[in-house]
Amino acid sequence: MGGVDPYTNLKHADLTELKTKLSLLSAAVVLLVVVVVGLLVALVCVTVFLTEKVQDVQEVTEELGLPEGSVFKGEPGKGKTSIAAYVTGIIKQVLGNHTNDDKDKEDTGEFLLQGPFYRKDGEEEQTFLAKPMAHLTGSTLNRPQPLGHGHSNHSTLRVRHWESNQGLATLANGMKYRDGYIKVPQDGLYYVYSQLYFRYMRDSKESRSTDNHQLLHYTYKKSATYRDKQEVMKSARTKCWSKRSQYGLLSSYQGGVFRLRAGDRLFVQVSNVAMVSFEEAASYFGAFMI
């Protein structure tokens, strides 16, 4: 009795199933290869993109004059600094105005403002986004002297005392103050300003023929690379006070934008210093990076 051999049918079925599995396996391998190639291409693209961005940031840091061993240059003897850590910190500061509040309050009494890169002295691992600024107000340490004593009407004296910490005064983000000088921490364009408020009180014993006063108001710059002081702003007025008034008032304001270098010092000189009212809202002096 003729018929199909069961063994032959079973063998044919196994062969068909094997071919199907091989086809599926081949398709999976091809798909896996495509995925791996795609990942490699994406990795290369990301690497190229990040490299370009890092180079851009390096160029910016060099233009901003960061010191050697700064953000992307690594500290000597410490290996390369983690670029990712710095980038992450900077992004947090830009997006969230993230600052070290406690440190800022302790050092300056103010929060850091957003601005160009700035590395504080002695802080190797921290870079701030901040603009240097100073606003000094009149100080009672500038004790008035009677007119006609000590200095002539035409001589000028440096204002040696300003308030830098109390009241309306502010000193922040690297600006330094000492003995009447504001010291600039980094190169850049700064708006410099000063105001002096003259208040003339007539002495009943003073001759009315001497009521004519020459009022001079100067703002100077001293540079570490140039020995002599440089006049940057000047106001002058010859004031003849009314003989009928008990006192006379006059304010002199100066302001301008100047390119300053790190280490430059600014100060104010004035004639007839005894006539200057050093109230904090009347006489002040300051500078800030723009």
**What is the rounded distance in angstroms from the CA atom of residue 289 to the CA atom of residue 284?**
17
Most confident of 45-59, 156-170, 245-259: 156-170
Is 134 in a helix, a strand, or coil? strand
Is the pLDDT reported for residue 135 higher than 90?
yes
Residue 185: the pLDDT is 94
From residue 289, give the alpha-carbon distance in Å to each of 98, 134, 180: 20, 10, 19
Q: What is the pLDDT of residues 13-62, one digit of tens each?
A: 677 888 888 888 889 999 999 999 999 999 998 888 888 877 777 776 66
The fold adopted by the segment(s) 133-289 is Jelly Rolls (2.60.120)
Structure tokens at 1: 């009795």
Contact call for residues 269 and 157 (beta carbons, < 8 A): yes
Does the global pTM surpass 0.95? no
Residue 200: the pLDDT is 75
For the chain, the average pLDDT equals 75
- Residue 16: count of CB within 10 angstroms of its CB: 10
Structure tokens at 245: 């008034």
Contact call for residues 128 and 86 (beta carbons, < 8 A): no
Q: To which residue do tokens 């791996």 refer?
A: 36
Q: How many CA atoms are closer than 13 Å to the CA of 79, on its beta-carbon side?
A: 2
Range of weakest confidence among 2-11, 92-101, 265-274:
92-101
| Residue that wins the pLDDT comparison between 192 and 66 | 192
CATH 2.60.120.40 residue spans of the chain: 133-289
Percentage of the chain lying above the pLDDT 90 cut: 36
Residues whose CB is less than 8 angstroms from the CB of residue 280 and which lie 6 or more positions away in sequence, other chains included: 137, 138, 163, 167, 168, 169
**What is the rounded distance in angstroms from the CA atom of residue 169 to the CA atom of residue 284?**
9
From residue 190, give the alpha-carbon distance in Å to each of 48, 97, 131, 259: 38, 23, 10, 6
Relative to beta strand 133-138, strand 284-289 is antiparallel
Is 31 in a helix, a strand, or coil? helix
- Residue 232: count of CB within 10 angstroms of its CB: 15
- Residue 284: count of CB within 10 angstroms of its CB: 23
